[in-house]
Amino acid sequence: MSILSFYRVELGRLLRAKMTWLIIALTLAAAAAPIVTGFEYSSSTQFMNFMGVTNLSGGAGGGILFVLLTLYELSKMYEKHVDTIVEAVSDPARLYCARVLALLTAAVLAVALTVICLLPYGLVKLGYVFEAGFYFSSFALFMLCSILLSILLSAALYALTRRASVSFIIFLLLALAITISEKFSDDHLVKWLMPQIRYLSDDFGNSMMIWLYSYSRFIWFFIFGGLLVLSLLGIRRYGKGLLGSFRINLKHAMLPVIAILLMGAGVYAYAHQPFYDNSPPIDYDTFYGTDEEEPTDLFLLGTELDIEIEAARGSLRGTAVNTVENRAGRPVLSTVAVNTGYTVEEILIDGLPVPFVDLQNDTNGEKEVEFTVPAADGAQTIAITYGGRYKMWTLLKGWGEGSEGIFPRYVSLGGSSLYPRIYVDRDEDIRTKGRLTLPEGLTPVTSGEINTVLSTDDRAGTKTWSMDNEGASMVLEAADYVQRSLTAAGLNIEFYYNRKHEAVMEEIGAAELMEDVISFCTELYGPLPFSEDIPLKLIQSTAYGGGGYASFNLSVMNESTFSPENLGDLEIGASSQEVLAHEIIHQWWGLFAHCIDLEDTWWTDEGVTTFTTYLFVRDRYGEDYANQHYVEKWEAAVAGMLENFYYRNPQYLDILPEQYVAALEGRDWGVQMYDMTALMIYNAGRLIGMDNVTEALSELYETASSNQTDVTFPDFLDKTGLDRKEIAID
């Protein structure tokens, strides 16, 4: 009998068994468990809180359930000695393969049912963020592959050990080692059972996670597939043991060759992954070092760029023309740093090609290329043509994937990832400008002037945009953005948010609210340190990007700031608008000034930001509303914390389980950072007058933002002339 006819028989038998359907039902339950129990992940995107959690629990739960089914089915055949009967008519290795194939098919069925059953709920829960493509592909890539790999591994273990219990224990050890071990904690490529997904983006695509896990699946299908083929040699023959059977099975001479090729391919793919560079761990001396500050004898007069980004392929190609003056009067060795995934193709100095050396010295996410600039009177142009697929700095491993790079729906590049950064001395008034070509669906936002469309190429489906920035660098964010022009407190503001988010932004009146909060805070604390000549660009960026950042006139806010889940988070504001106001206030406290105190660790930006939100709300909706939704809420939260037995008797924390302590302390920590700190600032206002407190905060902001120093709690006490005892809560 061929494998195919065995497979048909086995599948029919498997699908008639009650046990199979029980496992399928439990797998569906494992996937649905987090959403039925209301478990929410802290990352605050809809995709994470729906697809992320269902895939993780469905994949791990389903994986273990199907391992049980696999071991049950395989051992059943041997216990009933069906194998000796089959052996008489056909090759037992074929039968074994057919059984494994039937089990894999049952797993596909289980995941297909899960996808169909969760679909109505997903459509309702995800609403406008729902994407059919990602919905189906995420279940195939994350949940299904975890289960299929589990079946392959356990079938291989069983063929070798012929013991269901031993196979199960080895499986669990291998799965646990990779899931919880510190050694692998940052490595997506080894997470075959439980993918390490911390963020999923609702608006900006999840290409990096899809690329990483497609590659990871590829590695492990090869390794476990090879292991299974190898294990077929161990299938017991004529009542012999492992070694005896091995000798008989070796007549299939191709099996070990195939097994070694498969496993070798998997290991090779792992060792030669294309995502991360080979940078060693950060060497802080070179990272914050003086390399660039050493005089280079070359003076940069300006940079002209022409860059084309192929977002779908994750790559770019461009030319950077630097105009320099060699003031040394002799040839000078010059260096450029560039992303480790790019290749410098050609360097022309005043139009003539010069030799150059790619040092391949991956360090801090970039590598260096050296060449010689000849002596010359006056300015010379150095034109560097470069291109390639963006590669991540290994430092991003495990937490920052997807935050920077080139993806089909999102591009975020800066420094040497956008164009080769030349080591030079700079004159003051230089500009970096040029042209940027992107797929039609992506709108660029770069440091400096507003980007305008220079030309459209309908045939190629691309648009070419202008870029122009004061200074010697450029940062780029690009996505399918809607652009809204606002004015607040004399600042021109360009607000860029994802088109997919348009309805939500309009519903909460985000643009108007931004104007309102920025005007309010400018009056209260002083202007944000952006120039009035060029617009402040407020940009919504991907959830993978952490909190956000500011660079030149760009201020980037993580998409989860605007997600319905965050906007409904009543911990930090009474309504979506107030939550967003809180996030905008972080432009002052969080981005340009920081409250940090190593002694009083609860003194953070959150307390001052929460207090400022209260001031804004009081100003707009009146004293009663603000007291009810803020002051009373703070008082209740603080009272709850103080009444807590364990807060009053911390010595008893020692006898509680560790996880419970962490949960208690985490809750208290939030109360202290937000409610207690805000209440203390409010109490200071009761003692010395609210105007005097805001005056003090304004002065602290001014000093901290201009000197780039941190504001400590004693600084606040100094400024307000208060004593710690007068406002402390304990």
Q: What would the two tokens of residue 11 be?
A: 């599948």
Q: What is the largest CA-CA distance in the chain?
A: 96
CA distance 498 to 486: 17
Residue whose token pair is 């439980």: 194
* CA distance to 41, 53, 132, per residue, from 35 (Å): 10, 8, 19
Residue with tokens 């194998």: 83
CB 586 → Zn ion: shortest distance, Å?
6
CB nearer Zn ion, residue 152 or residue 557? 557
Q: Give the residue with the Cβ less far from Zn ion, 559 or 606.
A: 606
- Measured CA to CA, the distance from residue 710 to residue 722 in angstroms comes to 19
CB-CB neighbours of 355 under 10 Å: 8
Token digits of residue 568: 């409904």
Q: How far is the CB of 498 from Zn ion (least distance, A)?
A: 21
Distance of closest approach, residue 329 Cβ to Zn ion, in angstroms: 55
Is the CB of 167 or the CB of 609 nearer to Zn ion? 609
Q: How far is the CB of 412 from Zn ion (least distance, A)?
A: 22
Q: How far apart, in whole angstroms, are the C-alpha atoms of residue 341 and residue 343?
A: 7
Which residue's CB comes closest to Zn ion? 606
Select 366 or 606, whichever has its Cβ closest to Zn ion: 606
DSSP assignments along 241-299, one per residue: -HHHHHHHHTTSTHHHHHHHHHHHHHHHHHHT-SSB--PPSP-HHHHSSSTTTS--SEE
Select 390 or 713, whichever has its Cβ closest to Zn ion: 713
Q: How far is the CB of 583 from Zn ion (least distance, A)?
A: 7
Which of 31, 673 has the CB closer to Zn ion?
673
Site pattern 658..687 for Zn ion (x: CB under 5 A) = ------------------------------
The distance of closest approach from Cβ of residue 573 to Zn ion in the complex, given in angstroms and rounded to an integer, is: 10
User: If DSSP codes are grouped into helix, strand and coil, which group holds residue 718?
Assistant: helix
Count of Cβ atoms closer than 10 Å to residue 2 Cβ: 10
Q: Which of residues 586-645 bind Zn ion (CB under 5 A)?
A: 606
Nearer to Zn ion, 402 or 607 (CB): 607
Size of the site for Zn ion (CB under 5 A): 1
Which one-letter amino acid corresponds to residue 427? Answer: D
Distance between first and last Cα of the chain: 79
**Rounded-to-integer distance, Cα 445 and Cα 457, Å:** 20
C-alpha pair distances (Å), 95 with each of 1, 162, 246: 9, 15, 17
Question: 101 with 14: CB under 8 angstroms?
Answer: no
Q: How far apart are CA 712 and CA 70, in angstroms?
A: 60
What span, in angstroms and rounded, lies between the C-alpha atoms of 438 and 234?
A: 56
The number of CA neighbours under 13 Å toward the Cβ of 531 is: 10
Question: Min. distance of Cβ 673 from Zn ion in angstroms?
Answer: 9
> Cα separation of 471 and 433, whole Å?
10
Shortest distance, position 610 Cβ to Zn ion, whole Å: 7
Q: Which is nearer to Zn ion, 587 or 683 (CB)?
A: 587
The residue among 515 and 606 lying less far from Zn ion, judged by its C-beta, is: 606
Buried b (16+ CB within 10 A) or exposed e, 48-81: bbbbbbbbbbbbbbbbbbbbbbbbebbbebeeee
3-state secondary structure of 591: coil
Nearer to Zn ion, 56 or 584 (CB): 584
189 close to 219: Cβ distance less than 8 angstroms: yes
| Shortest spacing between CB 538 and Zn ion, in angstroms | 16
Of 672, 679, 680, the C-alpha closest to 633 is 679
With respect to Zn ion, which residue has the nearer C-beta, 322 or 609?
A: 609
Please report, as residue ranges, which positions from 202 to 261 form the binding site for Zn ion (by CB under 5 A).
none
Q: Which is nearer to Zn ion, 480 or 606 (CB)?
A: 606
For the chain, the C-alpha Rg in angstroms (whole number) is 31
Q: Supply 646's token pair.
A: 């364990």
| Between 362 and 606, CB nearer to Zn ion | 606
Report the C-alpha gap between 320 and 325 in whole angstroms.
Answer: 16
Nearer to Zn ion, 231 or 561 (CB): 561
Residue 561 beta carbon to Zn ion: minimum distance, rounded to whole angstroms: 9
Provide the minimum distance between the beta carbon of 513 and Zn ion in the complex, in angstroms, as a whole number. Answer: 16
Distance from C-alpha of 437 to C-alpha of 656, rounded to nearest angstrom = 59
Using CB under 5 A as the criterion, what x/- string covers residues 97-136 for binding Zn ion? ----------------------------------------
Instruction: Give me the least distance between CB of 563 and Zn ion, in Å please.
Output: 14
User: In the structure, how many helices (H) and strands (E) does the chain have?
Assistant: 26, 24
To Zn ion, the closest distance from the beta carbon of 677 in angstroms equals 12
Residue labelled with tokens 């206030």? 585
Distance CA 166, CA 252 (A): 27
CB 566, min distance to Zn ion, A: 10
Q: How far apart are CA 608 and CA 614, in angstroms?
A: 10
Cα separation, 320 vs 306, in Å, equals 7
Least distance between Zn ion and beta carbon 71 (Å): 49
The minimum distance between CB 580 and Zn ion, in angstroms, equals 11
The tokens for 28 are 């569906």
d(CA 685, CA 679): 10
Closer Cβ to Zn ion, 103 or 580, answer by number: 580
Please tell me the distance from the alpha carbon of residue 252 to that of residue 162, in angstroms, as a whole number: 20
Query: C-beta of 548: minimal distance to Zn ion in Å?
Result: 11
Q: Quick one: tokens of 355? A: 């030799």
Q: Between 83 and 606, whose beta carbon lies closer to Zn ion?
A: 606
Nearer to Zn ion, 470 or 606 (CB): 606
Residues binding Zn ion (CB under 5 A): 606
